[in-house]
Each structure stands twice: as structure tokens, then as C-alpha cells.
Amino acid sequence: MIQFEEFTLENGLRVIVHEDPTVEIAVLNILYDVGSRDEHPDKTGFAHLFEHLMFGGSVNIPNYDEPLQKVGGENNAFTNTDITNYYLTVPAANIETGFWLESDRMLSLSFDPNVLEVQRKVVIEEFKQRYLNQPYGDVWLRLRPLAYLKHPYQWATIGKEISHLENATMDDVRGFFFNHYAPNNAILVVAGNVTKDQVKRLSEKWFGPIPRQHVTKRNLTPEPAQTTKRFLEVDAKVPASAFYKSYHMPGRFHHDYYAADLLSDILSRGHSSRLYQKLVKEKEIFTSVSSFVMGTIDPGLLVINGRVKNGVKLADAEQEVNQIVEELLVKGATEEELTKVKNQAYSTLEFGEVEVMNRAMNLAFAKLSGDANIVNREAHDIEAVTLADIQRVGRQILREDNSSVMYYHAKN
């Protein structure tokens, strides 16, 4: 159970306080309701590039990192398809420094052209390091546009291609900032060794004066229901061929999300799972296999993937996977399997709450759904999933005509 209190400032900033006097630190997490799904198709990679620019100095503070380091603080940030999330940790007594820094960069950035030039280069190096210079690094750059034809999830958060990053201009930067980085488009969570009164006072002081902005209402093209199976074959310089199959599924805040999540756990979580036992241990077709759900806010993907043993044809591997999926859909899961994946999920929740920063992030993300208290209902919602739910949701999701398959052939 995560205890928390919340309030909203007049400018629309939603604030959540989670007191944990057992730690000596305080954490501050700001979630901006903007991700790569909000980008223009010709200017992709921007939300993430922008995250880098947020560390390049704000209107009154030339350098973000140094003053925080000076008070013993640490910080980082991440961007995904849905959100951009900034977080910092400080010795609890120095939490006001966090308010000062975060509020100033919410107020306005420095818009220093040199910062844009350097961060553009850094992000291009990141693109190369993580997506081009790694075996299997480009998999998601290829799989996304196969699975999504209309919705902006069709590009990866790093961007479709390096040229989009090369072409970003300072006007783009300003436009993006004033359209998305506003108090009424953000959720602030302060947690750790703090009190509600203290957080309220500091929030009013530092964030209160920031004016509300006009934020364009999100209006994304929904992904049309898929009606035929899609297929892509790729040759790559990798040592082992790999198989990817994705299926459209409900988004993170949909009531069937947990059933879909447990379904993927039944397929592949742990070494006793169906895919692992049959395909890695018994038949030795795959050397690794996994399935997972993407957990995106808009309808997402359930993905099954794995690397095959040398010499195994990917078409045969797919047949084997299909057979296991088919059996699950026809016969259903067993009571014992459902208990098992629920226990695993419950255990993950409990372990996930050990770290105060995780609790803060979970609260911020939950609040995005409108109700932060879903963090405390998750265990109950998982418990409520029945065998019938698993089968019903499985039959909706795990259909051939709802799937996109990629054969990633090892070519030497």
C-alpha cells in the first residue's frame, strides 16, 4: 500500500506527495505528458532530443546539473512513446534545490543554439551506439512500422532516421517547448523524507508563479484494426537468426490489460513457462524465447520473440510457436498456471515498491490515467483475472490476422 496525498495548483500542475520517513533522501519526479507519439511524422526523435536539451540550461540557471551535484543530488530522465519523465534524488534537507531547478526549466529554457548543436551530435551518437552498432539493434526500427500503419507508435522514440535529428531547428525546439512543457501538462511527485505541508509550500513557491499554457489537445490517428497478417524478412549480420511476432492488444489503462499481461506470462515467464519448456528445453529449437507486453497508453503490442538454434528455419520455429499458442487458446490455461503467474506478478509489484523512486514514478504514471490510486488497486485487479478472461482475451489478441511477423535471418 502506497500512502499519498494530492493537490492541484491554480496553474493546473498536479502534485502528489508520498511521505516515507524511513529513508534519508527525497526524490522529485516530473512527468510531462508528451512522448514520441506526439511528434510530426517528418520530425521524429524530437521528444527525446528535447529531453537532452532540458539539461542545457534554463532561463535563470545556466547549468542544470552543477547546482544539483553541489547539493549532493543525482538526476536523470527518460523518454518513451507516451511520456517524458525527469527525476532527481537529493539528501532530504536539500529538496528545495530540486524545486528551484525543475521549476526554472518548466518556466523556460535558455534556447542556446550551441546546446542544440552539441546535443544533436550526442543523440546521433546514441542512435548509432544503441541501434546501429549492436547486433539486433535495429529490430524495433523495423518492427514498429510493420505493426503500426497509422498510429505514431510506428516510429521508435529515438526517431525514424538520423536525418530527422540533423534537420531539427531552434524554431522546432521553441514550438515544442511551449506546446508541451507547461504546468497544466505535467505531474509532480515528491517522495521520501518530506512532509505534505513542506511540499505544498515549496510547490506554491516555485511552481505556483509559472503561467498555464495552451496545450494542443492530442488528436492521434488510431491504428485501424488489423485484418491480415503482415510479414517481413530481413537479412542481417548477426550470429543467430531471430524470430519476432507481435499482436495488437489493449492499452495500459484498459480493463483487459492485466489479462493480456498474465497471458504473456503464461507463455514465457520463468523457466517453467510453456514456450521455454517446450521450445528451449524439450525441442531445443530456440536458445532463448520470451514474450512481453509493451504497456503503452494507446493500444499496444504483445510480442513473442526468440533466437533460434543454428540451422533451425524460422518458418519452422514459427510453426512451433503457433502450435503452443493454439493449444493455449483451445484448451485454456490451468488453474495452477494462473496461480503461478499471479504470484509472480504480485511478487514483482512488491519488489518494485521497495525503492522509493519507483513508487514516485509509479504514482506519476498512474495519475496520468486520472487516478493515482490505481497503484494500490493493481494487486486486486491482477487477482480478479479469471481463466475465462485469459481465454477470451487470448482469442481476441493471439490471432494470425492480428499479427506482424519478422524473420531476422543471420547472414554471414
Partner 1 sequence: MLDRTVAPAYVQDTSFSLINPRIKTLGNGADVVYIAGGSQDVIKIELVFKAGRWYETKWGSAHFTAHLLSKGTASKSSYQIAQLFDLYGAHLEVTPGLDYVSVALYSLTKNIQPVLSLLQEILLEPSFPERELEQSVSIYIQNLKVNLEKTSFLASKLFRNTLFGENHPYGKELGESEVKSLTSSDLRGFYMNFKDFTVFVSGKVDAATEKFIDATFSSLEKNTQTQKNISRNAAKRVHQEVEKEGSVQASLRLGTESVIRSHPDYAKIIFSAHILGGYFGSRLMKNIREEKGLTYGIYASVQPLKQAGYFVIGADVNKENIGITFEEIRKELRRLRTEEVPQDELLTARNHFIGSLQSEITTPFAHADKIKTLYLSKLPADYYQKMISTVKDMTTAQIISTADQYLNEENFIELAVG
User: According to CB under 8 A, which residues from 278 to 297 bind partner 1?
Assistant: 280-281, 284, 287-288
Binding mask 124-163 for partner 1 (x = CB under 8 A): -xx-xxx-xxxxx---------------------------
Residue 240 per-residue DSSP state? S
**Residues numbered 314-353 forming contacts with partner 1, rule: CB under 8 A:** 336, 339-340, 343-348, 350-351, 353
Q: How far is CA 149 from the centre of its chain?
A: 20
Closest CA to 41 of 151, 173, 181: 151
**Nearer Cβ to partner 1, position 66 or 197?**
66
Beta carbon of residue 376, minimum distance to partner 1 (angstroms, whole number) = 13
Residue 2 per-residue DSSP state? -
Beta carbon of residue 120, minimum distance to partner 1 (angstroms, whole number) = 7
**Nearer Cβ to partner 1, position 116 or 297?**
116
User: Which residues have a Cβ under 8 Å from the Cβ of 100 and sit 6 or more positions away?
Assistant: 61, 67, 206
**Nearer Cβ to partner 1, position 272 or 319?**
272
Contact between 397 and 390 (Cβ < 8 Å)? no
Beta carbon of residue 332, minimum distance to partner 1 (angstroms, whole number) = 18
Our finding on whether 9 is near partner 1 (CB under 8 A) is: no
Q: Which amino acid is at 359?
A: R
Strands 286-293 and 300-308: antiparallel
Q: What's the N-to-C CA distance of the chain in angstroms?
A: 53
Contact between 214 and 388 (Cβ < 8 Å)? no
Angstrom CA distances, 249 to 33, 349, 353, 377, stand at: 22, 22, 26, 21
User: Which residues have a Cβ under 8 Å from the Cβ of 62 and sit 6 or more positions away?
Assistant: 110
Query: Cα Rg for the chain, rounded, in angstroms?
Result: 23
Beta carbon of residue 287, minimum distance to partner 1 (angstroms, whole number) = 5
**Residues numbered 347-406 forming contacts with partner 1, rule: CB under 8 A:** 347-348, 350-351, 353-357
Beta carbon of residue 60, minimum distance to partner 1 (angstroms, whole number) = 4
**Nearer Cβ to partner 1, position 115 or 302?**
115
Helix (H) or strand (E) holding 105: helix 95-107
Beta carbon of residue 54, minimum distance to partner 1 (angstroms, whole number) = 13
Q: Which stretch binds partner 1 (CB under 8 A): 32-40, 274-282, 319-327, 382-390?
A: 274-282
Binding mask 237-256 for partner 1 (x = CB under 8 A): xxxx----------------
Beta carbon of residue 316, minimum distance to partner 1 (angstroms, whole number) = 17
Our finding on whether 21 is near partner 1 (CB under 8 A) is: no
Q: Which of 150, 174, 205, 377 binds partner 1 (CB under 8 A)?
A: 205
Closest CA to 289 of 316, 321, 315: 321
Binding mask 81-120 for partner 1 (x = CB under 8 A): --------xxx-xx-xx-xx--xx--x---------xxxx
Beta carbon of residue 378, minimum distance to partner 1 (angstroms, whole number) = 14
**Nearer Cβ to partner 1, position 103 or 296?**
103
Helix/strand/coil (H, E, C) string of 206-238? HCCCCCCCCCCCCCCCCCCCCCCCEEEEEEECC
Size of the site for partner 1 (CB under 8 A): 82
